[in-house]
Amino acid sequence: MTLRIFRNTLLVGAVAILACSILFLGVMYYNVERMAFYRLQTEAEHMAAGISAYGDGYLQKISPASRVTLVAADGTVIFDSVADASKMDSHLWREEVREALEQGSGQSIRLSNTLLENTFYYSILLDDGRVLRVAATQDSVISMSAAAALPLLAAVFLVLTLSGVLASRLARDITKPIYDLAVEKSDTAVEYPELRPLVDSLREQKRTIRAQMDELSRRQREFAAITENMSEGFILVDNKRAILSGNRSGMDAISARGLGDEKTISRVRCRAEICDAVDRALAGEREEVLFDAGGRTIQAIASPVVSNGQVTGAVLLAMDVTEREQREALRREFTANVSHELKTPLTSISGFAELLKEGFVPPEKVREFATDIYTESRRLINLIDDMLKLSRLDENAPVPEREPVDLFELSDEILENLRPAAEKRSIHLHLTGEHVKVMGVWSILNEIIYNLCDNAIKYNKDGGSVTVHVEHAGGEARLSVSDTGIGIPYSSQRRVFERFYRVEKSHSRGVGGTGLGLSIVKHGAQYHGARLEFESEPGQGSKFTIVFPSECIVETTNEEG
């Protein structure tokens, strides 16, 4: 804008000075011309008066400043003060002579050969019909202009410089208030009232834009907060597989982090399963893939994004389905195990029963067979009981209200129940520690302690010992069951809490184990928010400890057992 104002002002100045110069020169030349003719006219009239008074000889006597020519009525030159009249051709058709002959006087201007001079002619008709012409030479307009050029140029330069300075100041003065215009400050005065509607509309637009920007960034923050906190990953790609948007989980899932500017799901940088799924989605199909990523199972669903019937991109959802898959695998395994565990005693029962039915069993053996059938049925019942207990713990089915349970007392009861079985193998049972009451479900706690003590006896050596110790230590209630039994091989220690896992199947079966005891212990402890600690030395014995957190503890009474 400044430049424009400056340029236009300068242009106006230049045009003005040029127009003035031309006008000045024109007026000056017009005046010079008028003066010249006036002088010639006066001179001609004087001479005409002289000729009429003194005859043609008058012309020879005077020495005029101008050239004087006397022309006869037929155009013949009678006298010329500069040239030889006899050698001059007829002047009848000279403009000024013709005019004088016709109108009494005439004038004309003719340019000299060099164009630098003009010759002015003035003719007057004498009383005797002849024409007296006076001529004088003057500078032409060109030479006058040339003479005036230098001062004129100096003036032009001066004027242009001045107008340049003025133009620049003017431009600055005009634009300064516009530059200083603070649109964002509504209380700022607008120096040019003409600008007020523009400024008002700018302010209005600015307010609208700011409101829209605020709304947009709020939505963006909301969207980011939702997507970033989603455990599911999502990625949006265009039809060239460039990532348009996505959350952290999505980026992790496709391993696209650190792609930099490229951000393209390329085969090199992204796992092949994802690329294939995205390609299928871009081809208009919905694709689901399951893959393993760093020990986690990821399910990715790629769906096409369709706009106006055209696939414009794809959206990829990635979910960590590790737990689901693990549960599914466990369920499958459990079903297979249950079927197997149920089938074994049932096959025995059905075999024994068939032999009895067919009469293949001698009478003295019938009792033995009936005992086998009874034992296998008991095993079946135990197994089903254990499975029911586990499923109740699994489903978090409603269980009796929690109540204060004295762990010491409960352990004592359980050991008493197990004493006959222990005595059969000369195993000594001990209970030590203090009375600690915890808030819990009696039936579950009973199950936990029973299973641990039962195992400690089952997997003990004849003449060994089992010690149950209850204590309140370090703000926690600890119940440990230790034995001097066979211990658990190191390779199996990690798996003993799995359902149906048994170190030695035949031994477990022989002692009436179902393979679910420790699973029930684990889930029962979890139910109470208790921690399970376990250590075992093969050939030396094992120790299982349940650690109840302080919030479970109700009361403690010291009593050494």
Total residues at interface with ligand ADP (CB under 6 A): 23
Q: Measured from the CB of residue 337, what is the shortest distance to ligand ADP in angstroms?
A: 12
Q: Does 234 bind ligand ADP (CB under 6 A)?
A: no
Of 76-84, 111-119, 270-278, 501-509, the window that binds ligand ADP (rule: CB under 6 A) is 501-509
Nearer to ligand ADP, 186 or 540 (CB): 540
**Contact status, residue 512 vs residue 382, Cβ threshold 8 Å:** yes
Q: Does 514 bind ligand ADP (CB under 6 A)?
A: yes
Q: Does 496 bind ligand ADP (CB under 6 A)?
A: yes
Q: Does 545 bind ligand ADP (CB under 6 A)?
A: no
Q: Which residues contact 252 (CB under 8 A, 6 or more apart)?
A: 233
Q: Does 302 bind ligand ADP (CB under 6 A)?
A: no
**Rounded distance between C-alpha atoms, residue 458 and residue 541, angstroms:** 12
Nearer to ligand ADP, 163 or 542 (CB): 542
Nearer to ligand ADP, 123 or 508 (CB): 508
Nearer to ligand ADP, 215 or 537 (CB): 537
The residue ranges of DSSP E strands in 394-464, in sequence order, are 403-406, 428-433, 435-440
- The phi-psi region of residue 433 (left if phi > 0; otherwise alpha if psi is between -120 and 50; otherwise beta) is left
Map the footprint of ligand ADP across residues 452-491, applying CB under 6 A.
Answer: 455-456, 459, 483, 485-488
**Rounded distance between C-alpha atoms, residue 25 and residue 145, angstroms:** 7
Nearest to 338 by CA among 384, 285, 307: 384
Of 131-139, 348-356, 435-443, 503-511, the window that binds ligand ADP (rule: CB under 6 A) is 503-511
Tell me how crowded residue 424 is: count the other CB atoms within 10 A of its CB.
10
**Rounded distance between C-alpha atoms, residue 72 and residue 129, angstroms:** 7
Q: Which residues contact 2 (CB under 8 A, 6 or more apart)?
A: 171, 172, 175
Q: Which of 91, 379, 469, 502 binds ligand ADP (CB under 6 A)?
A: 502
Q: Measured from the CB of residue 448, what is the shortest distance to ligand ADP in angstroms?
A: 11
Nearer to ligand ADP, 43 or 483 (CB): 483
The CA-to-CA distance between both ends of the chain, in Å, stands at 103
Q: Measured from the CB of residue 284, what is the shortest distance to ligand ADP in angstroms?
A: 53
Q: Does 508 bind ligand ADP (CB under 6 A)?
A: yes
Of 2-10, 43-51, 73-81, 511-519, the window that binds ligand ADP (rule: CB under 6 A) is 511-519
Residue keyed to tokens 């699994």: 394
Nearer to ligand ADP, 36 or 520 (CB): 520
Q: Does 503 bind ligand ADP (CB under 6 A)?
A: yes
Nearer to ligand ADP, 472 or 502 (CB): 502
**Contact status, residue 551 vs residue 476, Cβ threshold 8 Å:** no
**Contact status, residue 404 vs residue 521, Cβ threshold 8 Å:** no
**Rounded distance between C-alpha atoms, residue 37 and residue 68, angstroms:** 14
Give residues in contact with ligand ADP (CB under 6 A): 451, 455-456, 459, 483, 485-488, 496, 501-504, 508, 513-519, 542
